[in-house]
Amino acid sequence: MTAEPAAAPLRDLAYAFIRARELAVISSIGPSGEPQSALVGIAVSPQLEIIFDTVQSSRKYPNLKADPRIAAVIGWEGEQTVQYEGLALDPTGDELARAKEIYFAAWPSGVERQQWPGIAYFLIQPRWLRYSDFDTGRIEEIRF
pLDDT tens digits in sequence order for the chain, 144 residues long: 444 445 679 999 999 999 999 999 999 999 999 999 999 999 999 999 999 999 999 999 999 999 999 999 999 888 999 999 999 999 999 999 999 999 999 999 999 999 999 999 999 999 999 999 999 999 999 999
Residues whose CB falls within 8 Å of the CB of residue 4, separated by 6 or more in sequence, listed in order: 142, 143
- Vertex 104 angle, CA 67 and 35, to 5°: 25
How far is residue 45's CA from residue 18's CA, in Å, rounded to a whole number? Answer: 10
How far is residue 143's CA from residue 129's CA, in Å, rounded to a whole number? Answer: 7
How far is residue 21's CA from residue 44's CA, in Å, rounded to a whole number? Answer: 10
Please return the burial class of 7, using the count of CB atoms within 10 Å of its CB with bins 0-12, 13-18 and 19+.
Answer: middle
- Vertex 109 angle, CA 123 and 100, to 5°: 30
Q: 103 and 120 in contact (C-beta within 8 Å)?
A: no
Report all structural domains of the chain as residue ranges with CATH numbers, in order of start: 5-143 (2.30.110.10)
What DSSP designation does 80 have?
Answer: E
